[in-house]
């Protein structure tokens, strides 16, 4: 007896009726009796109507013989459709156009593209497998995927996708569904499948939910044998069938029937594909499905074992299927179905009804007005920037954080950490490790899956020296199956690392495999990325350092370690993310084509041998590229991590950073003077000039003094006691090998600046003088050296490992500058280009800093962020505002305090920036061919590093071509309005 009162049972019954009444019918059904369908049906013979129910396999990579075989089937058997497998888009479209031309009735083109065209076709996009999509929390993103996959498949000339997989994967050992499922939670599976299906169908691509009535709880692959499911009807109805009911309610166009033996639904033991109780009784009558019913491939052993070709196809039709996928012997299939009609096993009327259904689908997808598919630009139109960006969004959204003890993710306090990374399963540097390098100084290790006991012990000993170990567990196989190749010694090391509180693991495998790794659940940080490819490795590394966040939820349970639905939210956006222009509202094509064009012209005209360009918007690095070579004569190509001499950009990257910090500490005042910091200037002509005027270059200082010239006598020889060939306590300053400057010479430089005359008129004249003195000004208010002050307060906590003076790097990573025939008489490579800076030991506030574009960007992005980066407030927002706004707006001086600002001529044309750069923007340029610029109004950062002074400083072509500012303008043109 029911435990519910009678009136509640009546309410429930009426509610169910209401739900059934709300079912959305498949969209093509309205055309089953259309004029076009009627007209086509009148032209078809009875056998041709049968042939409409048959779809044969086609390949675009099998040559002429295969093509002729398909044409023969089209011409002689009049098949209704083709399912395409391996090949490429161009060949597929070309062939499909030829096949359509040969066909009496337009062909229905299908593909099995569960994760997009990349599942089958070369040169196309593979989106994440459905297991990863099951972790995504935004169904809108899955719908967007459906729209995009639908668009791409339609562009490739096809109309039907045998997807999505709607199976609930509740068997971790399932060998055929597994990562192809949205997971084990029936509600999650139903939601994701519905969103994916609706997106594809809204793009006019018919879909089929598979594998009815549910292939998730099997441990047999139906490609090779017939799986058996022994659950009772109650269990099947409540679990396996649930997602199918939901997508049917939502109006899915098709359902694919699996090859399964399900005694509870059909006791005869026949495959479900051939079962009338399952297809007609359950799917059509009980569930009320009126759409297209498709068999799974009719060449699979799950259905062919013990069944003859042709006869098995006939049995599938008798069971209730509308469309036969991958019929092997078409002629025999038609003959056997004809025999069944003659024997009264099925009526011609029923065959005609199914043929009408196929034709209705063809009309719905537009084949009643068929036109050949355009071949031109097909790859570009399939692989659009928007399509590529969607893949990145899905990968990011799938990331699942299962452990984050003490908020170890994102990594903080970089200045206090010695960090190591280990890639398990490979001896090659991984993309994961290369991406980690973008954030901090990291020592990398690799351990193969079959590492010896000695290799494991050696690595274990080495890792003792690090405060944080970030590990990637890799797969590298095409599909994320449940296998684990790591040997016992490697697994033991993983267990030991995970037991410590300084371990973070990124898992690039099927989540079920976590259950095979003892102790992995004890790791302080654990990120599941589901697959192992370039994108998953990049975004996992970005998550660990806070470039992006995560909110994915585990779609399956992992033994007793983790349950479906587990997943911690981690806030991102504290450091750079590295992504695509579309992520920041910019156009990839504009950036790529126009920046490449301008750079190629500059290199062709020998304006510079090469360059690094970095563009970030909204703290997203959306363009980072290296061009050309180190010099015109060598073959060393510029790499993105090579370092450049920043020349005068040193001013805003060292002096201004330090002075703003001291300003906030009350140790540097803008109305103060040099005399307040440097006692020797108290009686000089510069004693009373305020820093407001000094930092805006209107202090009446001389532009510069060629200090190096003062080391020569009139006869061209060096002055006595200026240089020695060997270093010593008195001659410690290295100018070059065999040339060491006296220790007192920097004092002579300071004295020369102090004694230099002032210009008569107070006006803007750019001068290096103060910035040469800036280290001494800073050191007058701190116990640290200028370099240590900068490292401790800025570069180390920022993770800007290459930013610094006198770079201690291999020469092949340092881009050379000028061939100096005036002072050093040699090519300048590895030391500062500026003569004054080298005479100061390579350390100065006006020149001498080296960096690559990525590390320099961290400091500049901090400026752009109002002083914040990586979760740390370095400077106050009001400080940055004060120092970067035009100081004297009502004068001819356009400068800020130390920073450059847009400078316009009488016509309002910018002289030094992109025309569209805002008045709030600021930056600096450098003599060696550098430009950096920040625009807070559009949150845009631009870095251009080059060595235009090679081979000599007389090379002004970079200026005459205006390359830097032309590229700067491209960035504004690429911002989508």
pLDDT (tens digit per residue) in 68-107? 999 999 999 999 999 999 999 999 999 999 999 999 999 9
Say what the pLDDT of residue 22 is.
55
Q: Is the peptide bond before 213 cis (omega within 30 degrees of 0)?
A: yes
**pLDDT on residue 3:** 40
pLDDT at 679: 96
The DSSP 8-state label assigned to residue 546 in this structure reads: T
Percent of the chain with pLDDT over 70: 98
C-alpha angle with apex 405: 402 to 410, nearest 5 degrees? 80
Mean pLDDT, to the nearest integer, of 643-666?
98
What pLDDT does 612 receive? 98
Element at 38 (helix H, strand E): helix 35-43
Over residues 407-424, mean pLDDT: 97
| Cα–Cα distance measured from residue 476 to residue 491, given in angstroms and rounded to the nearest whole number | 17
Burial environment of residue 960 by CB neighbours within 10 A (0 to 12, 13 to 18, 19 or more): exposed
In sign, the C-alpha dihedral spanning 753, 754, 757, 758 is positive
Beta carbons within 10 angstroms of residue 709's beta carbon: 10
Within its chain, how far is the Cα of 515 from the centroid?
28
Reported confidence tier of residue 2, pLDDT bands at 50, 70, 90: very low
The mean pLDDT of 340-359, rounded to a whole number, is 98
How many angstroms separate the CA atoms of 655 and 768, rounded? 12
Question: What DSSP state is assigned to residue 516?
Answer: G
At 475-503, the pLDDT tens digits run 878 888 888 999 999 999 999 999 999 99
Q: What gap in Å lies between CA 328 and CA 325, rounded to an integer?
A: 9
C-beta of residue 184 within 8 angstroms of C-beta of residue 133 = no
884 neighbors 922 (Cβ within 8 angstroms): yes
Chain CA centroid to CA 289, Å: 40
Q: Answer yes or no: is pLDDT of 20 > 50.
A: no
pLDDT reading at 109 higher than 80: yes
Give the other-Cβ count within 10 Å of 99's Cβ: 22
CA atoms within 13 A on the CB side of 336: 18
Where are the CATH 3.40.50.1700 domain residues in the chain?
399-575
Question: Looking at 840-921, which runs of residues are DSSP E strands?
Answer: 849-851, 868-869, 872-873
User: What are the phi and psi torsion angles at 659 (to 5°)?
Assistant: -70, -35
List the beta strands (DSSP E) in 304-386: 324-325
Angle formed at CA 721 by CA 718 and CA 727, multiple of 5 degrees: 100
Nearest to 778 by CA among 659, 898, 656, 648: 659
Q: Which residue from 411, 912, 860 is spatially nearest to 614, judged by alpha carbons? A: 860
CATH number of the domain at 594-974, please? 3.40.710.10
pLDDT for position 1: 36
Pairing type for strands 108-111 and 81-84 reads: parallel
CA distance 829 to 826: 9
Integer CA distances (angstroms), 762 to 489, 688, 898, in order? 74, 14, 17
d(CA 534, CA 815): 28
At residue 145, the 3 state secondary structure works out as: helix
State the virtual CA torsion across 883, 885, 889, 895 in degrees, nearest 10: 70
* Cα 905 from Cα 903, distance rounded (Å): 7
pLDDT at 57 over 50: yes
Measured CA to CA, the distance from residue 542 to residue 777 in angstroms comes to 38
410 prior amide bond cis, ω within 30 = yes
Spatial separation of the C-alpha atoms in residues 40 and 608, rounded to whole Å = 67
H-run or E-run covering 212: strand 206-212
CA angle 922, 925, 928 (to 5 degrees): 165
Q: What is the pLDDT of residue 977?
A: 66
Report yes or no: 120 and 111 within 8 Å, Cβ to Cβ.
Answer: yes
Q: Give 671-680's long-range contacts (Cβ < 8 A, gap of 24+).
A: 674/770, 674/773, 674/777, 677/776, 677/777, 677/780, 677/781, 678/750, 678/773, 678/776, 678/777, 678/780, 680/750, 680/751, 680/754
State mean pLDDT over 730-746: 96
Residue 931 confidence (pLDDT): 98
3-state secondary structure 777-818: HHHCCCCCCHHHHHHHHHHHHHCCCCCEECCCCCHHHECCCC
How far is 519 from 763, CA to CA, in rounded Å?
70
User: Residue range 872-889: average pLDDT?
Assistant: 97
Range with lowest mean pLDDT among 296-305, 715-724, 920-929: 296-305
How high is the pLDDT of residue 8?
A: 37
Lay out the sheet containing 733-736: strands in order across.
Answer: 723-724, 739-741, 733-736
| 967 pLDDT higher than 50 | yes
Position 715 pLDDT exceeds 90: no
Peptide bond into 951 cis (omega under 30): yes
Cα separation, 875 vs 657, in Å, equals 9
Q: In the chain, what percentage of residues exceed pLDDT 90?
A: 90
The rounded distance, in Å, linking the Cα atoms of 158 and 152 is 9
226 pLDDT above the threshold of 90: no
Q: Specify the pLDDT at position 718.
A: 87
Task: Tell me the C-alpha to C-alpha distance, in Å, between residue 710 and each of 279, 717, 723, 752, 888.
Answer: 97, 11, 12, 10, 36
Q: How far is CA 439 from the centre of its chain?
A: 16
Q: Residue 17: its pLDDT value, please?
A: 40
| Cα 253 from Cα 566, distance rounded (Å) | 33
pLDDT score recorded for residue 330: 96
What is the C-alpha to C-alpha distance for residues 798 and 347, in angstroms, rounded to an integer? 76
Peptide bond before residue 836 is cis, with ω within 30 degrees of 0: no
Spatial neighbors of 8 by CB under 8 A, at least 6 apart, are none
Q: Which CATH architecture has domain 399-575?
A: 3-Layer(aba) Sandwich (3.40)
Residue 40 has pLDDT above 70, yes or no: yes
Average pLDDT for the chain: 95
pTM of the model: 0.94
517 burial via Cβ count (<10 Å: 0-12, 13-18, 19+): buried
- Please give the average per-residue pLDDT across 658-669, as a whole number: 98
**Confidence band (pLDDT; 50, 70, 90) for 61?**
very high
Q: What is the pLDDT of residues 310-348, one digit of tens each?
A: 999 999 999 999 999 999 999 999 999 999 999 999 999
In the chain, residues under CATH classification 3.40.710.10 are: 594-974
Q: Looking at residue 554, what is its pLDDT? A: 98
Give the per-residue pLDDT at 478.
82
pLDDT digits (tens, 9 = 90+) for 889-938: 999 999 999 999 999 888 888 889 999 999 999 999 999 999 999 999 99
Q: Is 464 helix (H, G, I), strand (E, B) or coil?
A: coil
Residues of the chain within CATH 3.20.20.300 domain(s) are: 19-382
Contacts of 15 (CB under 8 A, 6+ apart): none
- How many whole angstroms separate alpha carbon 691 and alpha carbon 670? 5
Q: Which fold has domain 19-382?
A: TIM Barrel (3.20.20)
CA separation for the pair 581, 973 (Å, rounded): 12
d(CA 940, CA 917): 10
552 within 8 A of 393, measured Cβ to Cβ: no
In which element (H, E) is residue 254 found?
Answer: strand 254-257
């Amino acid at each position: 007896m029911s435990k519910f009162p009678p009136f509640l049972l009546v309410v429930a019954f009426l509610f169910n009726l209401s739900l059934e009444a709300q079912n959305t019918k498949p969209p093509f059904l309205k055309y089953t009796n259309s004029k076009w369908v009627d007209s086509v049906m009148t032209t078809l013979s009875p056998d041709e109507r049968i042939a409409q129910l048959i779809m044969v396999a086609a390949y675009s990579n099998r040559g002429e013989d295969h093509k002729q075989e398909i044409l023969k089937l089209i011409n002689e058997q009049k098949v209704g459709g083709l399912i395409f497998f391996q090949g490429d888009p161009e060949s597929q479209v070309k062939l499909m156009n030829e096949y359509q031309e040969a066909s009496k009735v337009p062909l229905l083109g299908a593909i099995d593209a569960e994760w997009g065209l990349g599942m089958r076709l070369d040169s196309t996009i593979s989106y994440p497998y459905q297991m990863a999509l099951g972790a995504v929390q935004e169904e809108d993103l899955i719908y967007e995927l459906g729209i995009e996959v639908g668009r791409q498949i339609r562009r490739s000339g096809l109309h039907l996708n045998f997807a999505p997989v709607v199976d609930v994967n509740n068997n971790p050992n399932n060998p055929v569904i597994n990562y192809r499922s949205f997971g084990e939670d029936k509600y999650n599976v139903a939601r994701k499948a519905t969103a994916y299906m609706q997106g594809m169908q809204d793009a006019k691509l018919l879909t089929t939910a598979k594998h009815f009535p549910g292939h998730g709880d099997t441990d047999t692959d139906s490609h090779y044998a017939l799986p058996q499911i022994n659950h009772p009807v109650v269990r099947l109805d409540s679990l396996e069938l649930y997602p199918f009911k939901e997508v049917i309610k939502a109006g899915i166009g098709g359902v694919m029937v699996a090859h399964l033996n399900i005694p509870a639904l059909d006791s005869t033991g026949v495959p479900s594909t051939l079962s009338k109780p399952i297809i007609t009784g359950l799917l059509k009558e009980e569930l009320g499905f009126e759409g297209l019913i498709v068999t799974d491939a009719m060449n699979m052993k799950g259905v062919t074992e013990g069944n003859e070709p042709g006869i098995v196809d006939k049995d599938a039709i008798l069971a209730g299927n509308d469309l036969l996928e991958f019929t092997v012997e078409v002629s025999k299939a038609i003959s056997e179905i004809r025999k069944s009609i003659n024997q009264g096993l099925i009526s011609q009327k029923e065959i005609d009804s199914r043929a009408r259904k196929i034709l209705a689908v063809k009309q719905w997808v537009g084949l009643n007005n068929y036109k050949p598919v355009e071949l031109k630009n097909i790859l570009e139109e399939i692989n659009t920037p928007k399509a590529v960006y969607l893949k990145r969004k899905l990968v990011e959204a799938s990331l699942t954080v299962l452990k984050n003890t003490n908020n170890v993710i994102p990594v903080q306090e970089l200045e206090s950490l010695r960090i190591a990374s280990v890639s398990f399963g490979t001896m090659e540097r991984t993309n994961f490790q290369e991406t980690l390098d973008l954030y901090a100084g990291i020592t990398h290790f690799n351990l193969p899956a079959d590492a010896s006991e000695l290799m494991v012990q050696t690595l274990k000993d080495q890792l003792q020296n690090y405060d944080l170990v970030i590990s990637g567990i890799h797969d590298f196989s095409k599909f994320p199956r449940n296998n684990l190749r790591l040997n016992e010694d490697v697994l033991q090391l993983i267990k030991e690392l995970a037991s410590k509180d300084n371990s973070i693991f990124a898992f690039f495998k099927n989540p079920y495999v976590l259950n095979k790794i003892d102790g992995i659940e004890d790791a302080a940080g654990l990120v599941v990325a589901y697959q192992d490819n370039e994108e998953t490795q990049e975004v996992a590394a970005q998550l660990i350092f806070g470039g992006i966040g995560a909110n994915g939820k585990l779609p399956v349970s992992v033994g007793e370690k983790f349950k479906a639905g587990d997943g911690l939210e981690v806030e991102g956006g504290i450091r750079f993310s590295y992504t695509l222009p579309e992520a920041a509202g910019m156009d990839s094509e504009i950036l790529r084509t126009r920046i490449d064009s301008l750079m190629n012209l500059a290199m062709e005209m020998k304006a510079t041998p090469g360059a690094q360009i970095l563009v970030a918007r909204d703290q997203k690095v959306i363009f980072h590229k290296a061009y050309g070579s180190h010099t015109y004569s060598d073959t060393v190509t510029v790499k993105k991590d090579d370092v450049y001499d920043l020349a005068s950009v040193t001013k805003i990257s060292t002096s201004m950073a330090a002075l703003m910090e001291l300003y906030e500490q009350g140790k540097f005042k803008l109305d103060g003077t040099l005399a307040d910091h440097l006692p020797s200037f108290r009686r000089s002509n510069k004693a009373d000039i305020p820093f407001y005027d000094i930092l805006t270059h209107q202090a009446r200082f001389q532009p510069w003094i060629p200090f190096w010239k003062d080391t020569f006598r009139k006869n061209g020889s060096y002055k006595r006691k200026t240089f020695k060939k060997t270093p010593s306590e008195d001659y410690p300053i290295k100018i070059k090998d065999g040339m060491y400057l006296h220790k007192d010479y920097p004092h002579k430089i300071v004295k020369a600046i102090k004694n230099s005359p002032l210009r008569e008129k107070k006006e803007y004249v750019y001068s290096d003088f103060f910035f040469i003195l800036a280290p001494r000004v800073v050191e007058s208010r701190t116990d640290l050296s200028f370099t240590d002050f900068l490292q401790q307060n800025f570069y180390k906590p920022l993770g800007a490992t290459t930013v610094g003076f006198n770079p201690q790097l291999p020469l092949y990573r340092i881009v050379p500058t000028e061939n100096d025939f005036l002072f050093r008489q040699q090519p300048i490579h590895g030391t500062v280009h500026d003569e004054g800076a080298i005479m100061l030991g390579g350390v100065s506030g006006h020149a001498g800093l080296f960096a690559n574009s990525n590390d320099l960007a961290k400091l500049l992005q901090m400026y752009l962020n109002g002083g914040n980066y990586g979760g740390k407030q370095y400077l106050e927002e009001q400080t940055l505002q004060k120092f970067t706004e035009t100081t004297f707006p009502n004068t001819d001086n356009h400068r800020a305090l130390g920073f450059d600002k847009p400078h316009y001529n009488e016509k309002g044309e910018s002289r030094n920036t992109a025309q569209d750069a805002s008045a709030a923007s600021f930056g600096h340029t450098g003599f060696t061919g550098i430009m950096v610029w920040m625009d807070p109004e559009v949150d845009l950062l631009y870095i251009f590093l080059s060595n235009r002074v090679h081979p000599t400083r007389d090379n002004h072509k970079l200026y005459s071509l205006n390359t830097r500012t032309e590229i700067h303008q491209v960035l504004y043109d690429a911002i989508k309005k």
